[in-house]
A and B are shown apart, each in its own frame.
Chain A
Amino acid sequence: MKQKSATKRIPELYNWVFLTPFLLVMILCAGWPLLRTVFFSLTDATLDSLKSSHFIGISNFVDLARDHDWWHAVRNTMTITFVSVPMETVLGMMVALILHRSFIGRGWMRAIVLIPWVIPTIVSARMWAWMLNDIYGIINELLLMASIIDAPIPWIASNTLSIVSIILVDVWKTTPYMALLMLAGLQSLPQDCFEAAEVDGIPFRKIFMNLILPMMKPTIIVAVIFRTLDAIRIFDLVYVLSCGNSANATMSVYARKHLVDYADVGLGSAAATALLFVIAILTVLYVSFNRKKTAVI
């Protein structure tokens, strides 16, 4: 009896031996830094005096709540998230429906759709900044030629329009990813009922509204939460497109600016912690949805 339980225990120990490197890496580069950031947010640390910082309670958070720039950053982040995620979802669904059909060149089409996703964000930002350039940009040129506008539009220099530009590039960049998630969802649905509906001559609009959409609901919810989490932490695109203009900073850009450029680790960490808090709430939602959906876990 005793021997049996011993033989059973050895593989169980093995499991944790195999998991040790992973857990160590996660503790070292995610867990510990995260705890330190939350700790720094309660101190007056600066970049040069990380060790000799003093505990000052929640005064960093009070400063944060009083800072107009912070609330501006929050508003920008929310605008970007709540405009671009729905747009990506609709466009992604359309692209997924196209890719789901079998047609000549489908493999090529899939590769083409992946290209915006694979291009480094910094490169995309530069490419679009060039296209959106107010004097030499091709987009202004085309709009002028089609006489939609009379004068060149300052896409990036103007505060309100630069948010529009950021959304435009973000949608371009992340639609492929959304489309792939939707495509995976579409392919996992039972295909025969769509075929039956098509043979019966039911218009596609009806098939989509009454069959595809309800069945795709779990996939869409997970994809939307996933993309929302990604959009809230947006950094690279805004950093390059706004060229340091604080009028269109997002929460991540604000946090990094205070952390590194102003060397105010306390306030920067407080901003990062606030962002973390928002994301943590959404992550709990995401994980619980994903758990419901995946029987395998």
Chain B
Amino acid sequence: MVVYMSAVMKHIYRGYNNLRTRTNRGDIGLIKRENAWKYKRLVKNTIFYVLCILVAAYCLFPFYWALVSSLRDSAHLFSTELWPSKISLENYSYVLGDALFGNSFLNSAVVATATSFLTLAVCLLAAYPLARHSFPGRKRVLMLALSITTLPHVAVLSGLFELIRILDIYNEKTALILSYMIITVPFTLWVMTNFMKSIPKDIEEAAIMDGSNQYRILTKIFLPILWPSIVTTGLLAFIAAWNEFLFALTFTLTAQARTVPVSLALFSGASQHELPWGLIMAASVVVTLPLVLLVVIFQRRIISGLTTGSVKG
């Protein structure tokens, strides 16, 4: 933040400096006009950066406040200083030492990873003919995928509940993985198809000329080219599965089977005013930090994946 601010200040100051030095040379009238223009630009730039900082503050403040609150000890929890005068890790040691929380963290990790790998396997196979061939029914399949992304999840709840009872996987991770496929698969298929479409056709034709079959083309030619897109879509599926709440809440019963969002939502004290806020904030930060890191590292990829998914540019 500080580095960014100083870069911005330098940028603005340079504009201001230009304004001052240029007055010594050349035609006065021209300079006056040029100065007016530069001055306008300076004001515009300043307003623009102030706007940027406001937007950044709006986006970051809740997370920042959670972080700051989690670093306070219980005596100073309700203080409103912007930075704690004494940093205490008491909340974190409690949260990280809690076996149940560790367990739900592990559940979330296993479920989200399994979901994203399964989704990728299904969608890579399905996206290949959808992106590379034209055949009757292709449009229908894509429209089906698009319609399923908009499905209200509560509308499949009772049907899924019955299915999970029949398969005898209630309160197990398999039930969550199965139900998460509704959320991840249609979206991933959509994004993957768009990514796969962007590969030039010549590559495929050359392979056909060399006598490769469909399966070989997919595994030996498309997969190596597509790996950045695979990372992107896998990441999006992982995030969606990590954050899912409704199915995780409904299809688990015991505290051992819960995922992180569920245990966070059901974490409560004796009454609403006695909620252990410090612990909740520490748990929130622990849960969110991996995702924030992913966003910082893969920002460009995530954006390209998200935007090809819903609105085609």
Residues of A within 8 A of B (CB): 11-12, 14-16, 18-19, 21-23, 25-26, 28-30, 32-37, 40, 45, 47, 50, 95, 98, 101, 103-105, 107-116, 118-128, 130-131, 133, 135-136, 138, 141, 172, 176-177, 180-181, 183-185, 187-188, 219, 222-223, 226, 229-230, 232-233, 235-236, 239-240, 243, 252, 255-256, 259-260, 265, 268-269, 272-273, 275-276, 279, 282-283, 286-287, 290-291, 293-294, 296-297
Contacts and interface: CB of A to CB of B under 8 A. Distances in A.
Contacts of B141: 19, 22-23
B60 A25 contact: no
16 contacts: A16-B129, A18-B214, A29-B160, A35-B159, A113-B56, A114-B302, A121-B245, A123-B261, A181-B307, A184-B307, A235-B154, A235-B246, A243-B272, A252-B153, A255-B154, A259-B154
B63 interface: yes
B186 interface: yes
Interface string B76-119: 01101000000000000000000000000000000000000000
Interface in B158-193: 158-163, 165, 178-179, 181-182, 185-186, 189
A260 B250 contact: yes
Interface in B120-148: 121-123, 125-126, 128-130, 133, 135, 138-139, 141-148
Most central of B153, B272, B310, B311 by chain A CB within 10 Å: B311
Contacts of B150: 226, 229-230, 279, 282-283, 286
A25 B145 CA distance: 12
Contacts of A16: 129
Band of interface residues on B: 35 or more
A293 B312 contact: yes
Contacts of B262: 122
A12 B189 CA distance: 19
Nearest to B5: A105
B207 interface: no
A32 B159 contact: yes
B245 A181 contact: no
Given A26-B185, A127-B284, A172-B62, A272 B129 contact: no
Return the 6 tightest CB-CB contacts between A and B, nearest first. A33-B159, A36-B159, A22-B126, A188-B313, A184-B307, A15-B129
B19 interface: no
B239 interface: yes
Contacts of A243: 272
A119 B63 contact: yes
Given A30-B151, A130-B281, A120 B261 contact: yes
B182 A187 contact: no
B250 A256 contact: yes
Interface string B29-53: 0000000000000000000110110
B197 interface: yes
Nearest to A295: B312
Contacts of A98: 48, 51-52, 55
A108 B4 contact: yes
A122 B52 contact: no
Most central of B4, B125, B284 by chain A CB within 10 Å: B284
Contact of A50 (B125, B151, B162): B162
B56 A109 contact: yes
Interface of B: 4, 7-8, 11, 48-49, 51-52, 55-56, 58-60, 62-63, 65-66, 69, 77-78, 80, 121-123, 125-126, 128-130, 133, 135, 138-139, 141-148, 150-163, 165, 178-179, 181-182, 185-186, 189, 194, 197, 214, 239, 242-243, 245-246, 249-250, 260-262, 264-265, 272-273, 277, 280-281, 284, 287-288, 291-292, 294-296, 299-300, 302-303, 306-308, 310-313
Given A30-B151, A120-B260, A296-B194, 16 more contacts: A18-B128, A29-B156, A29-B163, A29-B178, A30-B156, A116-B62, A121-B261, A188-B313, A223-B310, A223-B311, A230-B150, A243-B272, A256-B154, A268-B157, A272-B154, A290-B146
Contact of B265 (A131, A180, A233, A240): A240
A112 B162 CA distance: 42
A171 B258 CA distance: 28
Nearest to A173: B62
Nearest to A236: B245
A15 B152 contact: no
A108 B162 CA distance: 46
Contacts of A272: 152, 154-155, 157-158
Nearest to A45: B158
A222 B122 contact: no
A233 B122 contact: no
A239 B181 CA distance: 23
A110 B214 CA distance: 39
Contacts of B66: 123, 127, 130
Contact of A30 (B78, B148, B249): B148
A251 to B, nearest CB: 8
A52 B125 CA distance: 40
A46 B189 CA distance: 35
A28 B148 CA distance: 13
